[in-house]
């Protein structure tokens, strides 16, 4: 018989695996509540930070947005945020074609960008 703590953590992992996109703690809560009755936002925050420590989750920061989290260890990719429902989606791979023109003598080591728009459900 699994302890309540184990079941809570499992429910949180399942939420991320099932959704397959970055989730905010509030979104995680609504999925986890379907599996574990009475799970609280404090429990979600505690488990998310322990999953980040274990490197199972990684934070996704989007300018001007509260933090989202996604399963760690994925290759380089970018994110799409729907302006209507606020959901964040993963865009696999990198669509940054060609090299941006950098000032002479500069060398890029990484890049980041986000796409904002309307998802297919909200369209």
Binding site residues, Zn ion, CB under 5 A: 82, 84-85, 94, 96, 119, 122
Nearest distance in Å: CB 83, Zn ion? 8
Nearest distance in Å: CB 74, Zn ion? 12
Nearest distance in Å: CB 78, Zn ion? 6
Q: Given the complex with Zn ion, which of 62 and 119 has the nearer CB atom?
A: 119
Q: Which residues of 41-59 are buried (b: 16+ CB within 10 A; e: fewer)?
A: eebbeebbeebeeeebbee
Q: Given the complex with Zn ion, which of 96 and 115 has the nearer CB atom?
A: 96
CA distance linking residue 6 with residue 22, whole number of Å: 22
* Angstrom distances, CA of residue 107 to CA of 93, 95, 100, 111: 22, 20, 11, 11
Strands (E), the chain: 57-60, 68-71, 78-82, 88-91, 114-117
Q: Given the complex with Zn ion, which of 42 and 122 has the nearer CB atom?
A: 122
Nearest distance in Å: CB 77, Zn ion? 7
Q: Given the complex with Zn ion, which of 4 and 76 has the nearer CB atom?
A: 76
């Amino acid at each position: 018989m699994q302890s309540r703590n184990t079941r809570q953590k499992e429910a949180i992992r399942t939420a991320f695996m099932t959704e397959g996109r970055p989730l905010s703690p509030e979104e995680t809560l609504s999925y986890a509540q379907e599996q574990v009755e009475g799970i609280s936002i404090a429990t979600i925050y505690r488990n998310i930070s322990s999953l980040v420590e274990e490197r199972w989750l990684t934070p996704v920061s989007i300018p001007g947005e509260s933090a989202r989290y996604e399963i760690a260890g994925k290759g380089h990719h970018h994110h799409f945020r729907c302006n209507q429902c606020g959901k964040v989606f993963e865009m696999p791979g990198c669509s940054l074609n060609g090299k941006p023109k950098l000032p002479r003598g500069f060398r890029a080591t990484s890049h980041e960008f986000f796409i904002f728009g309307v998802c297919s459900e909200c369209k």
